[in-house]
Structure 1
Amino acid sequence: MSVKRTSRAGTLLMAGASLAVAGLLAGCTAGGSESSTADNRNSAEENAAAGDTVVIGFSGPAADHGWLGAINSSAIAAGDSFPDVELRVAEGTNDANLQISQVETFVNDGVDAIVLLPTDGAALTEAATKAMEAGIPVINVDREFSSPFAARATILGDNYGMGVSAGTYICERLGGQDDAVIAEIAGIDSLPLTQDRSRGFADALSDCGLSVTNRVAADFTVQGGEAVTSQLLSAAPEIDAIWNHDDDQGVGVLAAIDAAGRDEFFMVGGAGSANAMREIQSGDSVLEATVIYPSTQAADGIAMARLIAQGKTMSDLYTPSVPYRVVLDAPVITADNVDEYIQFAFES
């Protein structure tokens, strides 16, 4: 199974080819006249122009983690950026029952759309489905519902792709070293997102003949990251590379590495925190790369909710409606491109 990431140049070439084909199809009809395909699109200017005011309800989990805090703040900033959006923000919570009541309140208030990052996708599915049945489009962010009828659109980070990106980077750095010792510091093993990240990582390493030698799991906290990394370093006297799934717990991971005085390996992080990017910029850390898991997902959800509520399309696509499912990219950030991405980073 080949899982190598497509290069940016290759992606642009393929995109260009696809648009060229689309252009040909749009221009070729039985009568030789131009198709109306392109006419269904809103232009970027039309999308940016203020329309009828739409009321969007937003509910997300408690901001007890740097990435989650960035999710909430970026959603609010997105709402503020549109003069025709009234954003109603519910208090962040990790209580599924409270979040259900928040969705019910939005429905009773008759909002035009709901953007929801559920604390538990399965637990919020029924409430979201009822909102949809009431004619209110729901935009599902990050943690998926268990029914396709619970959301008009879903926007996700690419957990499997994160693992592929991290593994591909390590393969490129250690190519040909069949005996390389690769360590993995995962998040919470019971979560599907952690399982997806680990699966992508293993698949990418397998593609270049490598595999994970030592693996531990933390809990997405600084304390957990420090504790399991101390155990890992004690068990593995020599390591060539480490992938840590989460930059928030990475603060503890780096603390344990510093305390052990170890620097014979390089490390790749995950999520894209500002402190991780500053470590990369410094050039003095074992952390030399991190893989983005976008904290802009809810902000993108707000933008999509506005388009859907106003009956607009996505200006760069030929399809005459907003896509049902969007999966964001998981790029690798290194010293070569960190200056382009640090503006989007979140503080741990």
Structure 2
Amino acid sequence: MKKIGVFFIVLSLMVLSACSMESGLIKEQPKKESLQDVKIGVSISTLNNPFFVSVKDGIVKEAKKKGIETVVVDAQDDTSKQISGIEDLILKGVDVLVVNPTDSAAISSSVLSANEAGIPVITIDRSAEDGEVATFIASDNVSGGEMAGTYIVEQLGEKANVVELEGVSGASATRERGKGFHNIADKQLNVVTSQTAEFDRTKGLTVMENILQGNKDVEAVFAHNDEMALGAIEAIQAAGKDILVLGFDGTKDALDAVKEGKLDGTIAQQPALIGEEAVNAAVKILKGDQVEENISVPLKLQTN
């Protein structure tokens, strides 16, 4: 009988342990009445992209105004480097973690690590697929993709031949911008090809060069970000073509290109405002206030 009793006790402990793991118990973060000594850890996918530099600057500037220290790490578009960088931020004991993921799925392990350490996580521009995120701050990428498709239809009419330059595979922004664009394009445009250039200007140039060699009737390009759009313009100009090009982000280089008539338009985000919103959300979280699950920053179509 004693053996049976011990068996049931052990079994009960195992069940309770399993339930605790399944429910994803996360250490409670103590409320902070003062922002003194608060440290925000920031992991940016790449600081080789002007858009993310503006996001980072928005975070640092707003944090400084509030007397908050920031520690920024650059993943250089390398998922393993981002995971390692976040591990370092956790070891440094940051109070809040702000992450702009290189890959929405791959970054989930880092979010879970922060959860276990009791560090609230905020994701910006791209989401995380797993783990507990306090809030996700971004533009409405699906809506922006739809704006792009609609603009091309308005300018060129239905059934125009369009190339889509996609962002990094696995990034939520790539999926969402593509989804919005195809909501319009699949019904009203002829998408000649969709190829990734990984949000990179040089790759945008190379990919566009290759596309133009095999497709002579391209009338428009929708690039998932401005860097790829600017690269595509170089290829188009070298080929002596007249093709409508639309980017996404509203970076300084892109807006300058729009003013100069080189770029037809960009779905402009407000990267500095995304950064500011991240800091404001972090302060609310630390004070124990509620934050919205999703914070949307407005988009604007900028054309020449």
Give the alignment's TM-score, normalised by structure 2.
Answer: 0.75
Q: Is residue 160 from structure 1 mapped to residue 142 from structure 2 by the alignment?
A: yes
Distance between the aligned counterparts of 1:280 and 1:150, measured in 2?
A: 39
Distance between the aligned counterparts of 1:334 and 1:95, measured in 2?
A: 33
Q: Give the alignment partner of residue 224 of structure 1, picking from 197, 200, 203.
A: 203
Distance between the aligned counterparts of 1:144 and 1:66, measured in 2?
A: 20
CA contact (8 A) 1:162 1:293 kept: no
Distance between the aligned counterparts of 1:267 and 1:246, measured in 2?
A: 11
Give aligned pairs, total: 270
Identify unmatched segments of 5+ residues in structure 2: 1-32
| Larger RCO (alpha carbons 8 Å, 6+ apart) | 1
Distance between the aligned counterparts of 1:95 and 1:240, measured in 2?
A: 34
Q: Residue in 2 aligned with 1:268?
A: 246
Distance between the aligned counterparts of 1:289 and 1:281, measured in 2?
A: 9
Q: How does 1:45-124 map to 2 (within 5 A)?
A: 52-53=35-36, 54-83=38-67, 85-90=68-73, 92=75, 94=77, 96=79, 99-100=82-83, 102-124=85-107
Judged with a 3 Å threshold, the aligned counterparts in structure 2 of structure 1 residues 164 and 310 are, in CA distance, closer, same or farther, namely same
Q: Write the letter of the residue equivalent to 1:224.
A: K
Q: Give the alignment partner of residue 179 of structure 2, picking from 187, 191, 199.
A: 199
Distance between the aligned counterparts of 2:135 and 2:294, measured in 1?
A: 6
Distance between the aligned counterparts of 1:229 and 1:131, measured in 2?
A: 40
Distance between the aligned counterparts of 1:129 and 1:230, measured in 2?
A: 41
CA contact (8 A) 2:159 2:190 kept: no
Q: Write the letter of the residue equivalent to 2:142.
A: Y
How far is 1:166 from its partner?
0.3
SS at match of 1:268: strand
Q: Residue in 2 aligned with 1:40?
A: none
Q: Write the letter of the residue equivalent to 2:241.
A: R
Q: Give the alignment partner of residue 280 of structure 1, picking from 228, 253, 258.
A: 258
SS at match of 1:132: helix
CA contact (8 A) 2:150 2:184 kept: yes
CA contact (8 A) 1:276 1:290 kept: yes
How far is 1:254 from its partner?
1.2
Distance between the aligned counterparts of 1:107 and 1:228, measured in 2?
A: 38
How far is 1:201 from its partner?
1.0
How far is 1:91 from its partner?
5.3
Distance between the aligned counterparts of 1:329 and 1:246, measured in 2?
A: 16
CA contact (8 A) 2:144 2:180 kept: yes
| Identical-residue share of aligned pairs (%) | 28
How far is 1:206 from its partner?
4.2
Q: Write the letter of the residue equivalent to 1:240.
A: E
CA contact (8 A) 1:159 1:293 kept: no
Q: Residue in 2 aligned with 1:329?
A: 298
Distance between the aligned counterparts of 1:119 and 1:81, measured in 2?
A: 28
SS at match of 1:64: coil
Q: Is residue 295 from structure 1 mapped to residue 274 from structure 2 by the alignment?
A: no
CA contact (8 A) 1:158 1:293 kept: no
- 1:52-88 CA distances to partner (integer Å, 9 max, x unpaired)? 42332222234233333333233222222223x2223
Q: Write the letter of the residue equivalent to 2:252.
A: A
Q: Write the letter of the residue equivalent to 1:193.
A: A
Q: Residue in 2 aligned with 1:138?
A: 121
SS at match of 2:299: coil
SS at match of 2:98: strand
SS at match of 1:165: helix
How far is 1:323 from its partner?
0.5
Judged with a 3 Å threshold, the aligned counterparts in structure 2 of structure 1 residues 234 and 129 are, in CA distance, closer, same or farther, namely closer
Judged with a 3 Å threshold, the aligned counterparts in structure 2 of structure 1 residues 124 and 206 are, in CA distance, closer, same or farther, namely closer
Judged with a 3 Å threshold, the aligned counterparts in structure 2 of structure 1 residues 171 and 333 are, in CA distance, closer, same or farther, namely same
Q: Residue in 2 aligned with 1:307?
A: 284
Q: Write the letter of the residue equivalent to 2:302.
A: I
Judged with a 3 Å threshold, the aligned counterparts in structure 2 of structure 1 residues 116 and 212 are, in CA distance, closer, same or farther, namely same
CA contact (8 A) 1:186 1:216 kept: yes
- 1:116-159 CA distances to partner (integer Å, 9 max, x unpaired)? 22344444434433433444322122332232x42222223433
Distance between the aligned counterparts of 2:181 and 2:189, measured in 1?
A: 10
How far is 1:276 from its partner?
1.5
- 1:293-346 CA distances to partner (integer Å, 9 max, x unpaired)? 44333442122101221234xxxxxxxx211222333331123xxxxxxxxxxx
